[in-house]
Structure 1
């Protein structure tokens, strides 16, 4: 009798001794399944949103441009009735806000939802495992590569870049994702090859890659302390694993966190976006004063393309009709080259939206890097043409 009692006791001892919340040997850790579900939901949600807002429209646009070889339609400035050099007006601001919103509202919705999903559905340890590399260059390269499928304009990707930084992604990776969306957009590169000289696409791709990767590394080196490889690995290792992170709770909890994050982000970003875009529209005649007289501006035209082009906000591929119009007006290859980088890369609204997460120091240094990239493109395009 005692032997059987001892046998039963010894058989159940390991289970009684197992720490609470752990899984038996060979079983998945408790929380790994919710983490996998959250990551899968994120991927499906992001793919559906990007298919709706980006991939399908751009695929159809490629087919149209392949048949016509010309860019149909005018720039968002012309659509809003903005005249180069026109005095500021509330009417211009309202018209510009409506025109720009009509062009990008789908991508705005996608950006807000993806930003909320990044912060609530993807396990933080997994996110950092992808984007926290052993060097700033590695993080910037991964961030730039991950930006290419989303193909958003700088304003629409700002909430996602901010979400990445708030989740602990290194500065180099977050900045590279932010800049890479507009500059490395594969659809825009195809558009340029179809409707513009090949040199435009070559300069955009080459200088864009340098700004995204090299510029992000430079910004990170100037703003954040450097970590040796062992320290960088320790940062990722210190993050809670699947099952310990608050993001790995039950599906009902994840849904609630996602809804709260989406509402919180939208309540901040949408009014901020509307106010800053409206203000840019009010002053857009001054912010982008180049018109038919661009050829007579000389060096001032290049300066305007570098500085004011960085502040102006445009939808995805909006730089193409503007650059083509200025080239037809005789603006010259230097101005066109500068605009191919500065117009899409950043804008005043996107900088305002992302500054809280990245800090204003990082944001302004990123703007300086974009201006430098525009200057490089201004020198390269005339040489290639």
Structure 2
């Protein structure tokens, strides 16, 4: 039988464990490595080769080898962050009382959207590694808008990426990314909440008002955490691996020409914006990709499009969150990301990058 004392002490213990996991995990996987990587970017004006092409001028032809090579390189870059994302996504549901998440992120207001975007900044995860955390937040009654802002903010407002970008590409690219990134993260979060039907928002508010500490779940907290971790892993990872393999094989189709022939015309800007939205990269992967493409002579318009479309979403991350958002919301997010890519392309041309 659960006593009043149990319901008071378990949530306190759970949230402290969650915060410890987040701080230690992010320090080990993100903060400490990126701190040292920033000095490398400053000294060498590079953070490595393009994961899209390696040291070649173009992506390899579609093949099983191209798929496996990309999946291996990508997996080495993100596996620790993916494990951390699954741990945090399951811990949100197992360790945190539901009313805590709902109180900060559950309202259909801009305040919840702002909180989601700001909480994403220290996460610095790529779109796919953030997806399990977003799924966990949605399961704990975070609003659509706050969850979208958290999802996009992890990659688009990543402070480490902005620093790498400044040292490698130039600070004008960082400023463009920051300005448009703030508009994308908070604007899309606000728009996602507006897409809720007249019945959905009041119903969500009613659920929040009825939440109690006992609804966090019964039984042993660690057993529940392990079960949720396993369930999320089985549900998300297989399709994720398949889609990464397919995109790795299809690199040459998504980016068929990397040469001075790729000018800053509308057609190329739109094509690169769409390809960047579909493709999947590790955190900060857009920086060496854009650096390599500019060195090969492509126009700044297509490069600007990739600046805003490569990080925030991808086919795998959209598939991973298909159960957390309605299809219309994900379709709108993907379309607006492409529009931001087109705007960034034209801005880069107009500003003389």
Shorter-chain TM-score tier: over 0.9
CA deviations 1:184-213 (Å, max 9, x no partner) are 101101111222222101110011111111
Out of 144, 155, 172, which is 2:117 matched to? Answer: 144
Question: Aligned pair 1:346/2:313, yes or no?
Answer: yes
Note closer, same or farther for the CA distance 1:342–1:226 as it changes in structure 2 (3 Å cut). Answer: farther
Note closer, same or farther for the CA distance 1:294–1:103 as it changes in structure 2 (3 Å cut). Answer: farther
CA deviations 1:205-240 (Å, max 9, x no partner) are 011111111012112312443778x87654422111
Note closer, same or farther for the CA distance 1:220–1:322 as it changes in structure 2 (3 Å cut). Answer: same
In structure 1, what is the equivalent of residue 276 of structure 2?
309
In structure 1, what is the equivalent of residue 51 of structure 2?
76
In structure 2, what is the equivalent of residue 376 of structure 1?
343
Question: Does the CA-based 8 Å contact 2:168-2:291 persist in structure 1?
Answer: no
1: CA distance between counterparts of 2:39 and 2:327? 41
CA deviations 1:116-153 (Å, max 9, x no partner) are 10111111001111112351x22211110011111000
The more displaced of 231-240 and 259-268 is 231-240
Question: Does the CA-based 8 Å contact 1:294-1:326 persist in structure 2?
Answer: no
Question: Aligned pair 1:111/2:85, yes or no?
Answer: yes
2: CA distance between counterparts of 1:203 and 1:319? 14
Alignment of 1:171-210 (within 5 A): 171-210=144-183
Question: Does the CA-based 8 Å contact 1:35-1:122 persist in structure 2?
Answer: yes
Note closer, same or farther for the CA distance 1:246–1:122 as it changes in structure 2 (3 Å cut). Answer: closer
**Structure 1 residues without counterparts, runs of 5 or longer:** 1-19, 24-28
The more displaced of 126-135 and 172-181 is 126-135
Out of 215, 225, 241, which is 1:245 matched to? Answer: 215
Cα shift at 1:21 = 7.0
Q: TM-score, normalised by structure 2?
A: 0.93
Give the 3-state SS of the residue equivalent to 1:88 in structure 2: coil
In structure 2, what is the equivalent of residue 122 of structure 1?
96
Cα shift at 1:288 = 1.9
The more displaced of 199-208 and 357-366 is 357-366
Note closer, same or farther for the CA distance 1:31–1:294 as it changes in structure 2 (3 Å cut). Answer: farther
Note closer, same or farther for the CA distance 1:178–1:294 as it changes in structure 2 (3 Å cut). Answer: farther
2: CA distance between counterparts of 1:261 and 1:236? 22
In structure 1, what is the equivalent of residue 24 of structure 2?
48
Cα shift at 1:376 = 1.8
Question: Does the CA-based 8 Å contact 1:223-1:361 persist in structure 2?
Answer: no
CA RMSD of aligned residues (A): 2.2
Question: Aligned pair 1:57/2:33, yes or no?
Answer: yes
Note closer, same or farther for the CA distance 1:382–1:77 as it changes in structure 2 (3 Å cut). Answer: same
In structure 2, what is the equivalent of residue 93 of structure 1?
67
1: CA distance between counterparts of 2:54 and 2:79? 16
Cα shift at 1:316 = 0.7
Out of 119, 123, 127, which is 1:154 matched to? Answer: 127
In structure 1, what is the equivalent of residue 243 of structure 2?
276
Question: Aligned pair 1:131/2:98, yes or no?
Answer: no
The more displaced of 180-189 and 288-297 is 288-297
Aligned positions, number: 352
Question: Aligned pair 1:321/2:288, yes or no?
Answer: yes
Alignment of 1:256-275 (within 5 A): 256-275=223-242
Question: Aligned pair 1:363/2:337, yes or no?
Answer: no
Question: Does the CA-based 8 Å contact 1:280-1:313 persist in structure 2?
Answer: yes
Cα shift at 1:82 = 8.9
Question: Does the CA-based 8 Å contact 1:80-1:95 persist in structure 2?
Answer: no
Cα shift at 1:297 = 7.7
Out of 202, 212, 236, which is 2:208 matched to? Answer: 236
Give the 3-state SS of the residue equivalent to 1:79 in structure 2: coil
2: CA distance between counterparts of 1:63 and 1:188? 13
Out of 284, 299, 308, which is 1:332 matched to? Answer: 299
